Amino acid sequence: MAADSLQTLVYERTGRIARITLNRPSRGNGITLAMPRELAACVERANLDPSVHVLALSGNGTGFCGGYDLVESAEGRRSDGYEGENTGAPIDPMVLALNHVEGRTWDPMVDYAMMSRNVRGFMSLFHSDKPVVCKVHGFCVAGGTDLALCSDLLLIADDAKIGYPPARVWGVPTTALWVYRLGLEKAKRLLFTGDCLTGKQAAAWGLAHESAPPEELDARFEALLERIARVPVNQLMMMKLMLNQTAMAQGLSTTQILGTVFDGIARHTPEGHAFQRRSMEAGFKQAVRERDEPFGDFGLAAFKK
């Protein structure tokens, strides 16, 4: 995929570093159907470039990623391609999978087919031949955590927020990497509540390898990238293959199937339908505020631009 054809990302190479930057800042770098596919293409491009030793993942704008761009689908707004039940016109697969379309029954396997492909896109970071280092500033919530946790190393600003609030209603993390990154008890603590961590807490808990003051984040990110880039590509590939086998041997692939199926179910429980109805009545951001307000962190709704 040519760099100038990308809709959601920017790809560039500087020396031995391939840089992939989320580039939908006006939407909080919200994830669309195109983004995981473009991501996988960029990772493949970097892997096939013999001059690249390490990949750098970051986001433009005020934060890294606010999760899926779900405003239209949560509010029941159809894509431009949908013209009605009897016209035979195509339905946006994001709309079809993520919510109930009038006159159609939700098909969990259509949902799984779409979301599993998104997981494959995210996991291109995990399966990349070469190391991926992710920089998080501002916020990394909901589906945005799939991108961060599929990366090999995570450097986060002290004041950033990272977590999975949809664990409260309407979501299950499809890449299912929380327990592999945190351990069972800490993963339960976050996913039983949907709470977020600050960058400092994420580093203390072991979710990120390091946190940094916002004004130092870029410099520390670049220093780490340059240090990794000094290692021969063949050594980096061997280290990553060896280390990734621990997660695979513990059943990561099977866990992801369960997480992806459960994510679809979570959007079609009584509570999931109630959340979508409220989104249709008052708007998605208001529904998120009302979901999160009892937990005292309703300001996180602002991340969904």
* Dist. CA 241–CA 129, nearest whole Å: 8
Q: What is the pLDDT of residues 114-124, one digit of tens each?
A: 999 999 999 99
Domain extent at residue 195: 3-303
Task: Residue 198: give its domain's CATH number.
Answer: 3.90.226.10
**How much is the pTM?**
0.91
The pLDDT of residue 97 is above 80 = no
Supply the pLDDT for residue 87.
37
pLDDT of residue 100: 54
244 pLDDT exceeds 80?
yes
* Joined tokens for residue 55: 């990949």
Region 91-99 average pLDDT: 53
HSE-up (13 A, CA, CB side) for residue 14: 7
For residues 163-183, give the mean pLDDT.
97
Q: State how many domains the chain has.
A: 1
Q: pLDDT tier at 96 (50, 70, 90 boundaries)?
A: low
Alpha carbon of 301 to those of 36, 116, 219, 269: distances in Å?
A: 23, 26, 30, 22
C-alpha dist (Å) from residue 146 to 149, 151, 162, 261: 5, 9, 11, 16
How confident is the model at residue 105, as a pLDDT? 86
Q: Is the CB of residue 182 less than 8 Å from the CB of residue 206?
A: yes
| pLDDT of the residue at 103 | 56
Beta bridge partners of 153: 133
Mean pLDDT of the region 164-187: 97
